[in-house]
Amino acid sequence: QVLQVEPDALLSLCLASLQCVLRPPSAMKRPASAMAEAKTPDGVTDFKRGQRDFSQKEGSESKAIRMDFENDTKTYTNGVVAKNSWRSLTGQLSGELVRIPDVDSGYPKGVFPTKWEEGNPLPAAVESYEIGDGFPDVNENRMKFGVVIPSTNTTVEYDYWSMIMQNKEACKGIGFHMSGILIDAPKLATDEDMLHFLEMFRKQIYVTVDRLMTAEPQYIIMGMSLETFFGGWEGNKEFKQTLTDRTGLNIATGAEACKSALDKFKAKKITVITPYQEIGDRNVVKFFTEIGCEVVRIAGLKCGSATDIAHVPESWCEKVIRENLVLPGIDAIVQCGTNLSMVGLADRLEREIGIPIIAINAACLWFGMREVGINDKLEGCTRLFREH
């Protein structure tokens, strides 16, 4: 049998074949450089500033709210125009200029009733309260911290308030406002899952801090640690600058808090426990190596999801530490992963084993408090808070 082909179809087939023959190799295969650019950055392989994409998720864009450190007066949210008495100090751990905004001078705007008329329950006349130089937040009148946490994280807020309430008198007037990053991809079962988790996190970070800024915090603590280790020391600095540029505020990160804690103990030889997959652990090792530490051993628990981490029993962490991380010659043990609750365990174990255990939630709170000039020693929060 003879195959019958329409003339137009035959012409199209010939032209397509001719294009394949004449197409240059560069058009048939993407250059290696283009493939490398398309690859998801892992923080370890040739990390450079600018690799991470912090652009907002389409459809969820928000407007940046930035603290005013320039003008002598400002308009407060209630419409009152009042002085803007922000202050600054040098962070005793970072050496950076720490700017603390004025969040009090224009507040509160309110009235008190002075007259009622018969038959009408509503006041007929009112007078305004005199606010003078303003009044502070009733509960957070010493320092109002903003804390960024993943929406899956159920540990940071609990740990922070536990540390504060154990030391209620010393911490009077210190408070926190939490803002949750929407985590719509919580699976962390593989390296690829973890990198995708970070990509989704970055799409949500701006809208999260913008929401946080509506509470007018004076300093921000990053209650999610993995992104702060990503890319090593340079990656941490880039991330901090990204959030400071957005908000105007100084930022405490888990990575830098651990660095400062190790510096205080003059610890150089360490072991580490994390809830991460291998790619997370490799970023942690990169960070500590770059700041001059030797990571003798790292134990990643490889939790299957961001939610999993808060369900890890304390007994599991204690077993790993006792059997695998207490090694001859080490100076300290570091715990990463803010959803892994270890403040109480660290405080108990370090009294027994004789070396400091840096629990990341204690380190972050300690770093933030010290940077804004709060130097109270706290009990029940590891040696870091008791001694430094």
Rounded distance, CA 200 to CA 53, Å? 10
Report the run of H or E that residue 219 belongs to, with start and end: strand 219-222
The whole-number average pLDDT for the span 192-205 is: 94
221-247 residue pLDDT tens: 999 999 999 999 999 999 999 999 999
Query: Under a CB-based contact definition with an 8 Å cutoff, are residues 244 and 250 in contact?
Result: yes
Rounded distance, CA 71 to CA 66, Å? 13
More confident residue, 185 or 353: 353
87-142 residue pLDDT tens: 999 999 999 999 999 999 999 999 999 999 999 999 999 999 999 999 999 999 99
According to DSSP, residue 4 is labeled P
Q: Which residues of 66-90 are buried (b: 16+ CB within 10 A; e: fewer)?
A: ebeeeeeebebeeeeebebebeeee
Examine the pLDDT at 11 and tell me if it is beyond 80.
no
Rounded distance, CA 125 to CA 115, Å? 5
Q: Which residues contact 387 (CB under 8 A, 6 or more apart)?
A: 264, 377
Closest of 139, 79, 145, 134 to residue 102, by C-alpha: 134
More confident residue, 30 or 15: 15
Closest of 137, 128, 161, 132 to residue 147, by C-alpha: 161
270-322 residue pLDDT tens: 999 999 999 999 999 999 999 999 999 999 999 999 999 999 999 999 999 99
How far apart, in Å, do the first and last CA atoms of the chain sit? 92
Task: Calculate helix-pair angle for 232-247, 278-290, nearest 10 degrees.
Answer: 90
What value, to the nearest 5°, has the Cα angle with vertex 20 and ends 17 and 24?
A: 155
Rounded distance, CA 32 to CA 49, Å? 21
**Dmax of the chain from CA atoms?**
108
Strands 219-222, 251-252: pairing is parallel
